[in-house]
Amino acid sequence: MVIKIPKIIPKTITDKYDVVSNSFVSKEKEFETEIGDVKQVDFFPQFKVKRWDNECNFSIRLVNSDLDVPKIVVEKDKIKYIKNKVEVHSYPIGELGKEGSEYEFEVILKEKPASNKLEFTIETKGLKFEYQPELTQEEINRGRSRPENVIGSYAVFHESKSGNYLGGQNYRAGKAFHIYRPKIIDSKGNWVWGELNINVAKKLQTVTIPQNFLDKAVYPIRHASGETIGYTSIGASLEAASADYKFGSLAAAVENGTALTISFYPKKGSYDDGPLRLAILEYVSGTTFKLIEQSAELSSPTYNSWNTYDLVTQTQTITNGEIYLIAQWGTEYSMAWDTSAGSTMFVSAAYTNGVSTWGSPGTEHTIDINGDSIYSHYVTYSAAGPSSSVSPSQSPSQSPSLSPSASVSPSLSPSSSQSPSSSVSPSLSPSLSPSSSVSPSDSPSLSPSSSVSPSTSPSPSAGYTEYTRGNYATLPTTDAPLETNYSSQDVTDVGLVNSVWVNQNATGEYKIHEFKDFAAGTNECLITCVCKTDLLPSTSTVYLQIYNRISSTWEPLASNNTASVDTNFTLTASVADLTNYKDGNTVVACRVYQLDI
Protein backbone atom coordinates (compact mmCIF):
# COMPACT_ATOMS: atom_id res chain seq x y z
CA MET A 1 0.00 0.00 0.00
CA VAL A 2 1.47 3.33 -1.08
CA ILE A 3 1.30 6.12 1.49
CA LYS A 4 0.16 9.13 -0.51
CA ILE A 5 -0.37 12.82 0.15
CA PRO A 6 -3.93 14.20 -0.30
CA LYS A 7 -5.24 14.86 -3.80
CA ILE A 8 -6.74 18.19 -2.75
CA ILE A 9 -4.19 20.57 -1.26
CA PRO A 10 -5.11 24.01 0.11
CA LYS A 11 -3.79 27.20 -1.44
CA THR A 12 -1.89 28.01 1.76
CA ILE A 13 0.35 25.07 0.85
CA THR A 14 0.46 25.36 -2.97
CA ASP A 15 1.51 29.02 -2.63
CA LYS A 16 4.65 27.87 -0.81
CA TYR A 17 5.37 24.40 -2.21
CA ASP A 18 5.50 22.45 -5.43
CA VAL A 19 4.32 18.84 -5.28
CA VAL A 20 7.14 16.61 -6.52
CA SER A 21 6.90 12.79 -6.47
CA ASN A 22 4.48 12.59 -3.54
CA SER A 23 6.49 15.17 -1.56
CA PHE A 24 6.49 18.93 -1.01
CA VAL A 25 9.38 21.12 -2.23
CA SER A 26 9.45 24.81 -1.27
CA LYS A 27 9.33 27.40 -4.03
CA GLU A 28 11.70 29.57 -2.02
CA LYS A 29 15.27 28.46 -2.87
CA GLU A 30 17.52 30.48 -0.53
CA PHE A 31 16.55 28.09 2.27
CA GLU A 32 14.98 25.33 0.19
CA THR A 33 12.99 22.78 2.15
CA GLU A 34 11.60 19.38 1.19
CA ILE A 35 8.92 17.56 3.18
CA GLY A 36 8.83 13.84 2.45
CA ASP A 37 11.37 12.17 0.18
CA VAL A 38 11.20 12.88 -3.56
CA LYS A 39 13.25 9.72 -4.19
CA GLN A 40 10.65 7.43 -2.57
CA VAL A 41 7.18 6.35 -3.66
CA ASP A 42 5.77 6.49 -0.11
CA PHE A 43 5.49 9.67 1.92
CA PHE A 44 7.91 9.55 4.86
CA PRO A 45 8.18 11.72 8.01
CA GLN A 46 11.26 13.46 6.68
CA PHE A 47 12.50 17.03 6.46
CA LYS A 48 15.35 18.25 4.23
CA VAL A 49 16.97 21.66 3.89
CA LYS A 50 19.29 22.76 1.06
CA ARG A 51 21.68 25.73 1.05
CA TRP A 52 23.62 27.50 -1.67
CA ASP A 53 22.03 25.74 -4.66
CA ASN A 54 22.33 22.38 -2.89
CA GLU A 55 26.08 22.64 -2.28
CA CYS A 56 25.07 21.65 1.24
CA ASN A 57 22.05 19.83 2.60
CA PHE A 58 20.71 18.12 5.70
CA SER A 59 17.82 15.67 5.99
CA ILE A 60 16.23 14.04 9.04
CA ARG A 61 13.68 11.21 9.30
CA LEU A 62 11.90 9.90 12.38
CA VAL A 63 12.60 6.25 13.23
CA ASN A 64 9.23 4.67 14.06
CA SER A 65 8.42 0.94 14.08
CA ASP A 66 4.68 1.16 14.79
CA LEU A 67 2.83 -1.01 12.26
CA ASP A 68 -0.30 1.10 11.80
CA VAL A 69 -0.71 2.83 8.44
CA PRO A 70 -0.15 6.59 8.65
CA LYS A 71 -2.53 9.22 7.37
CA ILE A 72 -1.22 12.34 5.62
CA VAL A 73 -3.17 15.50 6.33
CA VAL A 74 -2.53 18.99 4.96
CA GLU A 75 -4.06 21.71 7.12
CA LYS A 76 -3.43 25.44 6.76
CA ASP A 77 0.39 25.71 6.63
CA LYS A 78 1.07 22.34 8.30
CA ILE A 79 1.89 19.01 6.67
CA LYS A 80 0.96 16.24 9.13
CA TYR A 81 2.04 12.60 9.29
CA ILE A 82 -0.43 10.94 11.69
CA LYS A 83 -0.20 7.55 13.39
CA ASN A 84 -1.96 6.12 16.46
CA LYS A 85 0.80 6.91 18.97
CA VAL A 86 2.78 9.64 17.26
CA GLU A 87 2.40 12.52 14.81
CA VAL A 88 4.96 14.54 12.86
CA HIS A 89 4.02 18.10 11.85
CA SER A 90 6.16 20.10 9.42
CA TYR A 91 5.65 23.86 9.06
CA PRO A 92 7.50 27.19 8.71
CA ILE A 93 7.72 29.85 11.41
CA GLY A 94 8.01 33.23 9.72
CA GLU A 95 8.62 33.86 6.04
CA LEU A 96 10.68 31.13 4.40
CA GLY A 97 14.09 32.29 3.20
CA LYS A 98 14.23 35.39 5.40
CA GLU A 99 17.01 35.82 7.93
CA GLY A 100 15.68 34.72 11.32
CA SER A 101 12.90 32.49 9.98
CA GLU A 102 12.61 28.91 11.25
CA TYR A 103 11.25 25.56 10.19
CA GLU A 104 9.67 23.20 12.68
CA PHE A 105 9.86 19.41 12.31
CA GLU A 106 7.65 18.66 15.30
CA VAL A 107 7.10 15.22 16.84
CA ILE A 108 3.96 14.85 18.98
CA LEU A 109 3.74 11.94 21.43
CA LYS A 110 0.13 10.92 22.07
CA GLU A 111 1.01 8.55 24.90
CA LYS A 112 3.99 7.64 27.05
CA PRO A 113 6.67 6.13 24.79
CA ALA A 114 8.50 2.88 25.51
CA SER A 115 11.82 4.74 25.51
CA ASN A 116 12.80 8.24 26.58
CA LYS A 117 15.09 8.53 23.56
CA LEU A 118 13.76 9.46 20.12
CA GLU A 119 15.93 8.43 17.17
CA PHE A 120 16.19 9.98 13.73
CA THR A 121 18.25 8.95 10.72
CA ILE A 122 20.13 11.84 9.14
CA GLU A 123 22.02 12.51 5.92
CA THR A 124 24.36 15.45 5.40
CA LYS A 125 26.32 16.93 2.52
CA GLY A 126 29.09 19.51 2.84
CA LEU A 127 28.26 20.58 6.40
CA LYS A 128 29.97 20.77 9.78
CA PHE A 129 28.04 20.65 13.05
CA GLU A 130 29.36 22.74 15.94
CA TYR A 131 28.01 21.98 19.41
CA GLN A 132 27.24 25.00 21.62
CA PRO A 133 27.99 24.11 25.26
CA GLU A 134 26.97 25.95 28.40
CA LEU A 135 29.24 28.93 29.04
CA THR A 136 31.97 28.75 31.65
CA GLN A 137 32.14 31.32 34.45
CA GLU A 138 35.24 32.77 32.81
CA GLU A 139 33.29 33.36 29.59
CA ILE A 140 30.40 34.95 31.51
CA ASN A 141 32.84 37.25 33.32
CA ARG A 142 34.15 38.36 29.94
CA GLY A 143 30.68 39.56 28.95
CA ARG A 144 29.42 36.54 27.05
CA SER A 145 25.84 35.30 27.13
CA ARG A 146 24.01 32.45 25.43
CA PRO A 147 20.22 32.01 25.13
CA GLU A 148 18.78 28.93 26.83
CA ASN A 149 17.66 27.37 23.55
CA VAL A 150 21.21 27.76 22.17
CA ILE A 151 22.85 25.91 25.07
CA GLY A 152 23.09 22.30 23.88
CA SER A 153 22.31 23.25 20.27
CA TYR A 154 24.31 23.02 17.03
CA ALA A 155 25.55 25.81 14.77
CA VAL A 156 25.87 24.32 11.28
CA PHE A 157 28.46 25.62 8.80
CA HIS A 158 29.61 24.94 5.26
CA GLU A 159 32.49 22.49 5.67
CA SER A 160 34.96 24.43 3.51
CA LYS A 161 33.61 27.79 2.31
CA SER A 162 32.66 31.13 3.73
CA GLY A 163 32.70 34.81 2.78
CA ASN A 164 31.36 36.77 -0.17
CA TYR A 165 32.48 35.42 -3.53
CA LEU A 166 31.97 38.29 -5.99
CA GLY A 167 29.89 37.03 -8.88
CA GLY A 168 29.20 33.82 -6.95
CA GLN A 169 27.70 32.66 -3.69
CA ASN A 170 27.65 34.85 -0.60
CA TYR A 171 28.53 32.44 2.22
CA ARG A 172 29.14 35.27 4.70
CA ALA A 173 30.70 33.65 7.79
CA GLY A 174 29.84 30.22 6.36
CA LYS A 175 26.88 29.54 8.63
CA ALA A 176 24.09 27.54 6.94
CA PHE A 177 21.54 27.30 9.76
CA HIS A 178 21.12 26.56 13.46
CA ILE A 179 19.48 23.54 15.13
CA TYR A 180 18.16 24.70 18.49
CA ARG A 181 17.87 22.79 21.76
CA PRO A 182 14.48 21.03 22.04
CA LYS A 183 11.95 22.49 24.45
CA ILE A 184 9.38 19.75 25.14
CA ILE A 185 5.90 20.78 26.36
CA ASP A 186 2.99 18.70 27.71
CA SER A 187 -0.73 19.51 27.44
CA LYS A 188 -0.73 21.41 30.75
CA GLY A 189 2.11 23.67 29.69
CA ASN A 190 4.76 21.90 31.76
CA TRP A 191 8.04 21.81 29.89
CA VAL A 192 11.61 20.53 29.99
CA TRP A 193 14.75 20.82 27.89
CA GLY A 194 15.68 17.71 25.90
CA GLU A 195 19.23 16.61 25.18
CA LEU A 196 20.12 16.85 21.48
CA ASN A 197 22.93 14.74 20.01
CA ILE A 198 24.00 14.60 16.37
CA ASN A 199 26.39 11.87 15.22
CA VAL A 200 27.21 12.53 11.58
CA ALA A 201 29.38 9.43 11.14
CA LYS A 202 26.62 7.15 12.47
CA LYS A 203 23.98 9.11 10.51
CA LEU A 204 21.98 9.38 13.70
CA GLN A 205 20.34 12.11 15.74
CA THR A 206 18.83 11.45 19.15
CA VAL A 207 16.70 13.53 21.50
CA THR A 208 16.70 12.31 25.10
CA ILE A 209 13.74 13.38 27.26
CA PRO A 210 14.06 13.17 31.06
CA GLN A 211 12.20 10.05 32.17
CA ASN A 212 10.69 11.83 35.16
CA PHE A 213 9.02 14.33 32.81
CA LEU A 214 7.53 11.54 30.69
CA ASP A 215 6.24 9.75 33.80
CA LYS A 216 4.35 12.83 35.05
CA ALA A 217 3.39 14.48 31.74
CA VAL A 218 -0.17 15.07 30.57
CA TYR A 219 -0.34 13.75 27.03
CA PRO A 220 -0.08 14.56 24.19
CA ILE A 221 3.42 16.04 24.40
CA ARG A 222 4.41 18.61 21.78
CA HIS A 223 7.86 19.45 20.38
CA ALA A 224 9.17 16.05 21.48
CA SER A 225 11.85 16.24 18.79
CA GLY A 226 12.38 19.95 19.21
CA GLU A 227 13.68 20.05 15.64
CA THR A 228 13.52 23.81 15.21
CA ILE A 229 15.88 24.69 12.37
CA GLY A 230 16.64 28.39 12.11
CA TYR A 231 17.70 30.02 8.85
CA THR A 232 20.48 32.32 9.99
CA SER A 233 23.96 33.40 8.94
CA ILE A 234 24.56 35.02 12.31
CA GLY A 235 26.24 33.81 15.48
CA ALA A 236 23.58 32.78 18.02
CA SER A 237 25.39 34.05 21.13
CA LEU A 238 26.35 37.54 22.34
CA GLU A 239 29.67 38.93 23.53
CA ALA A 240 29.41 42.43 25.03
CA ALA A 241 32.31 44.09 26.82
CA SER A 242 33.19 47.58 28.01
CA ALA A 243 36.93 46.88 27.83
CA ASP A 244 39.05 47.57 24.76
CA TYR A 245 40.03 44.44 22.82
CA LYS A 246 41.71 43.46 19.60
CA PHE A 247 39.99 40.28 18.48
CA GLY A 248 38.96 38.30 15.43
CA SER A 249 38.67 34.95 13.70
CA LEU A 250 41.47 33.16 11.89
CA ALA A 251 41.03 32.75 8.14
CA ALA A 252 42.69 31.37 5.02
CA ALA A 253 42.39 32.78 1.51
CA VAL A 254 41.43 30.42 -1.30
CA GLU A 255 42.62 32.62 -4.19
CA ASN A 256 44.94 35.54 -4.82
CA GLY A 257 43.01 38.79 -4.92
CA THR A 258 42.37 42.32 -3.68
CA ALA A 259 40.47 42.96 -0.44
CA LEU A 260 37.56 45.35 -0.95
CA THR A 261 35.22 45.39 2.04
CA ILE A 262 34.85 43.93 5.50
CA SER A 263 31.52 43.04 7.14
CA PHE A 264 30.49 42.38 10.72
CA TYR A 265 27.28 41.76 12.69
CA PRO A 266 26.95 43.76 15.94
CA LYS A 267 24.23 42.45 18.24
CA LYS A 268 22.46 44.90 20.51
CA GLY A 269 23.99 44.40 23.94
CA SER A 270 24.95 46.26 27.08
CA TYR A 271 27.60 48.30 25.28
CA ASP A 272 27.65 50.25 22.06
CA ASP A 273 30.00 49.49 19.21
CA GLY A 274 32.34 52.31 18.69
CA PRO A 275 34.34 53.98 17.85
CA LEU A 276 36.14 51.04 16.29
CA ARG A 277 38.09 49.95 13.24
CA LEU A 278 37.86 46.67 11.31
CA ALA A 279 41.01 45.15 9.87
CA ILE A 280 42.71 42.26 8.07
CA LEU A 281 46.00 41.07 9.55
CA GLU A 282 48.42 38.54 8.11
CA TYR A 283 49.87 35.81 10.32
CA VAL A 284 53.64 36.28 10.75
CA SER A 285 54.78 33.81 13.40
CA GLY A 286 53.99 32.75 16.94
CA THR A 287 51.49 35.34 18.19
CA THR A 288 52.54 38.08 15.77
CA PHE A 289 50.29 39.44 13.01
CA LYS A 290 50.92 42.35 10.64
CA LEU A 291 48.33 44.77 9.30
CA ILE A 292 47.25 44.31 5.69
CA GLU A 293 44.33 46.74 5.49
CA GLN A 294 41.77 48.46 7.71
CA SER A 295 38.50 50.37 7.52
CA ALA A 296 37.98 54.00 8.47
CA GLU A 297 36.94 54.58 12.07
CA LEU A 298 33.23 53.96 12.57
CA SER A 299 30.66 54.49 15.28
CA SER A 300 27.02 53.56 15.89
CA PRO A 301 26.62 50.76 13.36
CA THR A 302 23.19 49.31 12.67
CA TYR A 303 22.56 46.75 15.38
CA ASN A 304 21.21 43.26 14.66
CA SER A 305 22.18 43.64 11.02
CA TRP A 306 25.13 42.96 8.74
CA ASN A 307 27.24 46.13 8.34
CA THR A 308 29.69 46.41 5.43
CA TYR A 309 32.49 48.97 5.23
CA ASP A 310 35.02 49.78 2.53
CA LEU A 311 38.66 49.09 3.29
CA VAL A 312 40.73 52.29 3.13
CA THR A 313 42.71 51.73 -0.07
CA GLN A 314 41.05 48.65 -1.60
CA THR A 315 44.46 47.90 -3.14
CA GLN A 316 45.98 45.44 -0.65
CA THR A 317 46.45 41.91 -1.95
CA ILE A 318 45.49 38.62 -0.34
CA THR A 319 47.56 35.51 -1.09
CA ASN A 320 46.06 32.08 -1.68
CA GLY A 321 46.67 29.69 1.21
CA GLU A 322 48.03 32.29 3.64
CA ILE A 323 46.55 32.81 7.09
CA TYR A 324 44.78 36.01 8.15
CA LEU A 325 42.96 37.41 11.15
CA ILE A 326 39.70 39.21 10.39
CA ALA A 327 39.57 41.54 13.35
CA GLN A 328 38.13 44.57 15.06
CA TRP A 329 39.47 46.94 17.71
CA GLY A 330 37.48 49.54 19.58
CA THR A 331 36.42 51.08 22.88
CA GLU A 332 33.42 48.80 23.45
CA TYR A 333 31.72 46.08 21.48
CA SER A 334 28.73 43.76 21.28
CA MET A 335 29.24 40.96 18.78
CA ALA A 336 27.51 37.84 17.46
CA TRP A 337 29.49 34.61 17.76
CA ASP A 338 29.30 30.81 17.93
CA THR A 339 31.55 28.36 19.79
CA SER A 340 34.25 26.79 17.66
CA ALA A 341 37.49 25.44 19.15
CA GLY A 342 40.75 27.25 18.47
CA SER A 343 39.42 29.68 15.88
CA THR A 344 39.93 33.04 17.59
CA MET A 345 42.79 35.29 18.68
CA PHE A 346 42.23 38.17 21.12
CA VAL A 347 44.07 40.46 23.53
CA SER A 348 43.16 43.36 25.81
CA ALA A 349 44.55 46.56 24.30
CA ALA A 350 43.70 50.25 24.80
CA TYR A 351 42.10 51.90 21.75
CA THR A 352 42.70 55.58 20.93
CA ASN A 353 39.79 57.45 19.37
CA GLY A 354 40.40 59.40 16.20
CA VAL A 355 43.79 57.79 15.56
CA SER A 356 44.65 55.04 13.10
CA THR A 357 45.44 52.74 16.03
CA TRP A 358 46.12 49.73 13.81
CA GLY A 359 48.91 51.75 12.17
CA SER A 360 49.95 51.61 8.52
CA PRO A 361 50.10 48.41 6.44
CA GLY A 362 52.91 46.21 7.73
CA THR A 363 52.54 47.31 11.38
CA GLU A 364 52.93 44.27 13.62
CA HIS A 365 50.59 43.39 16.50
CA THR A 366 50.92 40.78 19.22
CA ILE A 367 47.60 38.98 19.75
CA ASP A 368 48.41 36.15 22.08
CA ILE A 369 45.25 34.52 23.51
CA ASN A 370 43.66 31.69 21.55
CA GLY A 371 39.90 31.31 21.98
CA ASP A 372 37.00 29.13 20.93
CA SER A 373 34.78 31.36 18.80
CA ILE A 374 33.69 32.16 15.31
CA TYR A 375 32.67 35.82 15.17
CA SER A 376 30.27 37.09 12.55
CA HIS A 377 32.94 38.70 10.35
CA TYR A 378 33.84 38.22 6.71
CA VAL A 379 35.83 39.91 3.94
CA THR A 380 34.88 40.36 0.32
CA TYR A 381 37.56 40.65 -2.35
CA SER A 382 37.95 40.49 -6.08
CA ALA A 383 40.13 37.59 -7.09
CA ALA A 384 42.95 37.54 -9.58
CA GLY A 385 41.32 34.41 -11.02
CA PRO A 386 37.89 33.20 -9.91
CA SER A 387 36.26 35.49 -7.33
CA SER A 388 36.98 34.50 -3.74
CA SER A 389 36.93 35.63 -0.13
CA VAL A 390 38.69 35.46 3.19
CA SER A 391 36.43 34.25 5.98
CA PRO A 392 36.59 32.80 9.49
CA SER A 393 38.35 29.45 9.75
CA GLN A 394 38.89 27.13 12.66
CA SER A 395 42.64 27.05 12.30
CA PRO A 396 45.55 28.44 10.34
CA SER A 397 45.14 25.90 7.56
CA GLN A 398 45.00 25.85 3.80
CA SER A 399 41.28 26.37 3.38
CA PRO A 400 38.70 28.53 5.18
CA SER A 401 37.18 25.48 6.79
CA LEU A 402 34.99 25.78 9.86
CA SER A 403 35.34 23.08 12.52
CA PRO A 404 32.76 22.12 15.11
CA SER A 405 33.40 22.35 18.81
CA ALA A 406 32.06 20.33 21.69
CA SER A 407 29.24 17.85 22.05
CA VAL A 408 28.04 15.02 24.24
CA SER A 409 27.19 12.43 21.63
CA PRO A 410 27.92 8.80 22.52
CA SER A 411 29.75 6.50 20.15
CA LEU A 412 27.86 3.43 19.01
CA SER A 413 31.03 1.51 18.28
CA PRO A 414 32.95 -0.64 20.80
CA SER A 415 36.23 0.52 19.33
CA SER A 416 37.28 3.96 18.20
CA SER A 417 39.32 5.67 15.56
CA GLN A 418 41.01 9.01 15.78
CA SER A 419 41.28 10.61 12.39
CA PRO A 420 43.55 13.61 12.05
CA SER A 421 45.29 14.83 8.97
CA SER A 422 48.24 17.15 9.26
CA SER A 423 50.63 19.47 7.52
CA VAL A 424 53.27 21.95 8.64
CA SER A 425 53.49 24.93 6.33
CA PRO A 426 55.87 27.91 6.55
CA SER A 427 54.87 31.10 8.29
CA LEU A 428 54.56 34.37 6.50
CA SER A 429 57.75 35.88 7.86
CA PRO A 430 61.22 35.77 6.19
CA SER A 431 62.34 33.55 9.07
CA LEU A 432 60.21 30.49 8.59
CA SER A 433 57.83 29.62 11.41
CA PRO A 434 56.13 26.31 10.75
CA SER A 435 52.38 26.26 11.18
CA SER A 436 51.20 22.70 11.72
CA SER A 437 47.62 21.84 10.96
CA VAL A 438 45.84 18.51 11.27
CA SER A 439 43.10 18.71 8.69
CA PRO A 440 40.93 16.68 6.32
CA SER A 441 41.10 16.84 2.55
CA ASP A 442 39.25 15.68 -0.51
CA SER A 443 41.27 17.68 -2.97
CA PRO A 444 43.72 16.23 -5.50
CA SER A 445 45.86 19.37 -5.22
CA LEU A 446 49.45 19.03 -4.01
CA SER A 447 50.24 18.99 -0.31
CA PRO A 448 53.23 20.87 1.13
CA SER A 449 55.15 17.59 0.96
CA SER A 450 54.53 14.50 -1.15
CA SER A 451 56.76 11.85 0.32
CA VAL A 452 57.26 10.14 3.64
CA SER A 453 60.53 8.49 4.63
CA PRO A 454 60.52 5.27 6.68
CA SER A 455 63.27 6.69 8.85
CA THR A 456 64.80 10.06 9.52
CA SER A 457 66.89 11.42 6.70
CA PRO A 458 70.54 12.15 7.61
CA SER A 459 70.19 15.58 5.98
CA PRO A 460 66.58 16.83 5.89
CA SER A 461 65.87 20.02 3.97
CA ALA A 462 62.99 22.45 3.46
CA GLY A 463 59.74 20.59 2.79
CA TYR A 464 60.90 17.44 4.61
CA THR A 465 58.23 15.56 6.55
CA GLU A 466 58.06 12.21 8.28
CA TYR A 467 54.51 11.31 9.28
CA THR A 468 53.73 7.97 10.95
CA ARG A 469 50.93 6.44 12.98
CA GLY A 470 50.14 3.35 15.07
CA ASN A 471 48.33 1.81 18.03
CA TYR A 472 50.26 0.92 21.19
CA ALA A 473 49.48 -0.57 24.60
CA THR A 474 51.70 2.08 26.23
CA LEU A 475 52.72 5.52 25.00
CA PRO A 476 56.15 5.58 23.32
CA THR A 477 58.62 7.64 25.34
CA THR A 478 60.81 8.62 22.35
CA ASP A 479 60.08 10.19 18.97
CA ALA A 480 61.06 7.08 17.02
CA PRO A 481 58.85 6.55 13.93
CA LEU A 482 55.61 4.71 14.63
CA GLU A 483 54.70 1.36 13.07
CA THR A 484 52.85 2.65 9.98
CA ASN A 485 54.24 5.25 7.55
CA TYR A 486 51.94 7.80 5.98
CA SER A 487 51.75 7.18 2.25
CA SER A 488 52.41 9.97 -0.24
CA GLN A 489 48.65 10.20 -0.73
CA ASP A 490 48.14 10.45 3.03
CA VAL A 491 50.49 13.43 3.15
CA THR A 492 48.64 14.98 0.24
CA ASP A 493 45.28 14.37 1.92
CA VAL A 494 46.33 16.08 5.14
CA GLY A 495 47.33 19.28 3.38
CA LEU A 496 43.84 20.78 3.17
CA VAL A 497 40.81 21.09 5.43
CA ASN A 498 37.84 19.22 3.97
CA SER A 499 36.58 15.65 4.22
CA VAL A 500 39.34 13.04 3.72
CA TRP A 501 40.97 11.76 6.92
CA VAL A 502 43.92 9.51 7.76
CA ASN A 503 42.51 7.04 10.27
CA GLN A 504 44.19 5.19 13.11
CA ASN A 505 42.09 2.55 14.85
CA ALA A 506 42.65 1.05 18.29
CA THR A 507 40.85 -1.21 20.74
CA GLY A 508 41.94 -0.75 24.35
CA GLU A 509 45.20 0.92 23.22
CA TYR A 510 46.60 4.35 22.37
CA LYS A 511 45.93 5.54 18.81
CA ILE A 512 48.74 7.89 17.83
CA HIS A 513 49.75 10.10 14.91
CA GLU A 514 53.31 11.50 14.91
CA PHE A 515 54.45 14.39 12.71
CA LYS A 516 58.07 15.40 12.06
CA ASP A 517 58.88 18.55 10.09
CA PHE A 518 61.99 20.45 9.05
CA ALA A 519 62.23 23.73 10.98
CA ALA A 520 65.51 25.38 9.97
CA GLY A 521 65.58 29.16 9.78
CA THR A 522 63.00 29.73 12.50
CA ASN A 523 62.87 29.48 16.24
CA GLU A 524 59.13 29.72 16.85
CA CYS A 525 55.96 28.19 15.45
CA LEU A 526 52.19 28.04 15.73
CA ILE A 527 51.02 24.41 15.90
CA THR A 528 47.40 23.65 15.10
CA CYS A 529 45.76 20.25 14.87
CA VAL A 530 42.26 19.79 13.43
CA CYS A 531 41.08 16.26 14.16
CA LYS A 532 38.08 14.10 14.99
CA THR A 533 37.44 10.85 16.83
CA ASP A 534 34.58 8.39 17.26
CA LEU A 535 35.35 8.02 21.00
CA LEU A 536 33.86 10.85 23.06
CA PRO A 537 36.75 13.05 24.33
CA SER A 538 34.95 13.49 27.67
CA THR A 539 35.48 9.74 28.08
CA SER A 540 39.11 9.86 26.92
CA THR A 541 40.92 13.17 26.36
CA VAL A 542 42.72 13.90 23.07
CA TYR A 543 46.24 15.34 23.55
CA LEU A 544 48.68 17.32 21.39
CA GLN A 545 52.35 17.11 22.45
CA ILE A 546 55.84 18.20 21.31
CA TYR A 547 59.08 16.28 21.91
CA ASN A 548 61.75 17.99 24.05
CA ARG A 549 65.25 16.97 22.87
CA ILE A 550 66.94 18.20 26.07
CA SER A 551 64.79 16.33 28.59
CA SER A 552 63.96 13.48 26.14
CA THR A 553 60.29 13.73 27.10
CA TRP A 554 57.00 14.54 25.39
CA GLU A 555 55.57 17.84 26.65
CA PRO A 556 51.85 18.77 26.56
CA LEU A 557 50.71 21.56 24.23
CA ALA A 558 46.91 21.29 24.17
CA SER A 559 44.06 18.91 24.87
CA ASN A 560 40.33 18.51 24.30
CA ASN A 561 37.82 16.71 26.53
CA THR A 562 34.61 18.41 25.35
CA ALA A 563 34.26 17.76 21.61
CA SER A 564 31.59 15.62 19.99
CA VAL A 565 32.26 12.28 18.38
CA ASP A 566 32.94 12.37 14.63
CA THR A 567 32.99 16.15 14.65
CA ASN A 568 36.00 18.32 13.83
CA PHE A 569 37.73 20.09 16.71
CA THR A 570 40.97 22.05 16.94
CA LEU A 571 44.01 21.81 19.21
CA THR A 572 46.42 24.72 18.94
CA ALA A 573 49.49 26.09 20.73
CA SER A 574 52.17 28.69 20.14
CA VAL A 575 55.80 27.69 20.78
CA ALA A 576 57.88 30.85 21.24
CA ASP A 577 61.29 29.12 21.34
CA LEU A 578 62.06 25.89 19.46
CA THR A 579 65.64 25.57 20.75
CA ASN A 580 64.88 22.57 22.98
CA TYR A 581 62.68 20.87 20.40
CA LYS A 582 64.94 20.64 17.32
CA ASP A 583 67.14 17.61 16.76
CA GLY A 584 70.58 17.79 15.13
CA ASN A 585 68.91 18.06 11.71
CA THR A 586 66.56 20.87 12.89
CA VAL A 587 63.53 18.54 12.81
CA VAL A 588 60.64 19.09 15.25
CA ALA A 589 58.36 16.22 16.32
CA CYS A 590 54.74 16.54 17.46
CA ARG A 591 52.07 13.93 18.10
CA VAL A 592 48.35 13.70 18.74
CA TYR A 593 46.85 10.72 20.58
CA GLN A 594 43.89 9.28 22.47
CA LEU A 595 43.54 6.18 24.63
CA ASP A 596 40.71 3.86 23.59
CA ILE A 597 38.80 2.83 26.73
Could you tell me the CA-to-CA distances from 35 to 13, 67, 90, 560 in Å, in that order? Answer: 12, 22, 7, 38
pLDDT at 23: 94
pLDDT at 433: 28
**Domain locations along the chain:** 11-125+182-225, 237-390, 416-595
CB 134, CB 181: distance < 8 Å: no
pLDDT at 512: 94
pLDDT in tens, 414-463: 233 444 443 332 222 222 223 333 333 332 222 222 223 333 334 566 66
Band of the pLDDT at 357, cuts 50, 70, 90? Answer: confident
The listed range with the strongest mean pLDDT (306-315, 349-358, 379-388) is 306-315
CB 154, CB 197: distance < 8 Å: no
Q: Is residue 184's pLDDT more than 60?
A: yes
Mean pLDDT calculated for residue range 298-313: 88
Closest C-alpha among 421, 400, 269 to residue 337 = 269
pLDDT in tens, 238-287: 988 888 888 888 877 767 788 899 999 988 876 765 688 999 999 888 78
Closest C-alpha among 129, 38, 77, 596 to residue 405 = 129
Q: What is d(CA 407, CA 414) in angstroms, rounded to the nearest whole number? A: 19
Q: What is d(CA 429, CA 556) in angstroms, rounded to the nearest whole number? A: 26
134: how many CB neighbours lie within 10 A of its CB? 12
pLDDT at 451: 29
Determine which of 76-90, 284-298, 406-420 has the lowest per-residue pLDDT on average: 406-420
Q: What is d(CA 585, CA 457) in angstroms, rounded to the nearest whole number? A: 9
Query: Is the full-model pTM beyond 0.75?
Result: no
Q: What SS3 class is residue 355?
A: coil
